[in-house]
Chain A
Amino acid sequence: DGGITQSPKYLFRKEGQNVTLSCEQNLNHDAMYWYRQDPGQGLRLIYYSQIVNDFQKGDIAEGYSVSREKKESFPLTVTSAQKNPTAFYLCASKEGSEQYFGPGTRLTVT
């Protein structure tokens, strides 16, 4: 089955630790995205990548980092510099103008 996988579904970390969220797609899409979803805030763009080895900051990139070494993978690192990291994180890939979303990872930092 083609699709986007994000793992794990739930992630718990202590404050001050970096954590990396996984996103893999087998749709052969060039573009991939990371969003953060908070209650009442909708989806806000963290980083995006239009092609392998290239990525751009989105609207709320501070405290996050990404890499895009392979077409199918776009991991997101939430660093200790992110002041409010507890959130639901969604990964997406794009074909044409339509984005396809993964199931999300709920990160809780205490």
Chain B
Amino acid sequence: AQSVSQHNHHVILSEAASLELGCNYSYGGTVNLFWYVQYPGQHLQLLLKYFSGDPLVKGIKGFEAEFIKSKFSFNLRKPSVQWSDTAEYFCAVNAGNYGGSQGNLIFGKGTKLSVKP
């Protein structure tokens, strides 16, 4: 079965530190990849997505992610975090109709990011 692994459950950083959140997936075919963010008390919202083309994807609020097909990875990065980036981050994969999933998203377990001011 497909799966998505997020390596860190909780990351604590000081403001201005650099961020990298790991995401690996298990499906070997064509995938669409997503990072969603859930700020405290707010909706889950899309941060960025990769469908095809340039493997370095830029999203909102200065976030970017790099798709490395050989490593089955889609890590999220930000050069300098702010207190307002405190949130929970979810990686998700859509593997088309693999296994009859009809294009459903498979989510990782999430990474909580706490940024200290």
Contact = CB atoms under 8 A, between A and B. Distances in A.
Interface residues of B, number: 24
B45 A97 contact: no
Interface in B26-40: 32, 34, 36
A2 interface: no
Interface stretch (B12-20, B56-64, B72-80, B103-111): B103-111
A17 interface: no
Query: Chain A contact residues: over half helix, strand or loop, or mixed?
Result: strand
B90 interface: yes
B104 A42 contact: no
A41 B109 contact: yes
Nearest to B90: A42
B19 to A, nearest CB: 19
A90 B108 contact: no
Instruction: From A35, A42, A58, A102, name the one whose CB has the most chain B CB atoms within 10 angstroms.
Output: A42
Given A40-B9, A40-B109, A45-B104, A103 B90 contact: no
A101 B43 contact: yes
A101 B107 contact: no
B69 to A, nearest CB: 18
Contact of A43 (B49, B51, B90): B90
A101 B90 contact: no
Interface of A: 33, 35, 40-45, 48, 50, 56, 58, 90, 92, 97-104
18 contacts: A40-B110, A42-B4, A42-B90, A42-B107, A42-B108, A43-B90, A43-B105, A48-B102, A92-B44, A97-B51, A97-B103, A98-B46, A98-B49, A99-B105, A100-B46, A101-B44, A101-B45, A102-B43
Given A43-B105, A101-B44, 18 more contacts: A40-B109, A41-B109, A42-B4, A42-B108, A42-B109, A43-B92, A45-B104, A50-B102, A58-B104, A90-B44, A92-B44, A97-B32, A97-B49, A97-B94, A101-B36, A101-B45, A102-B43, A104-B43
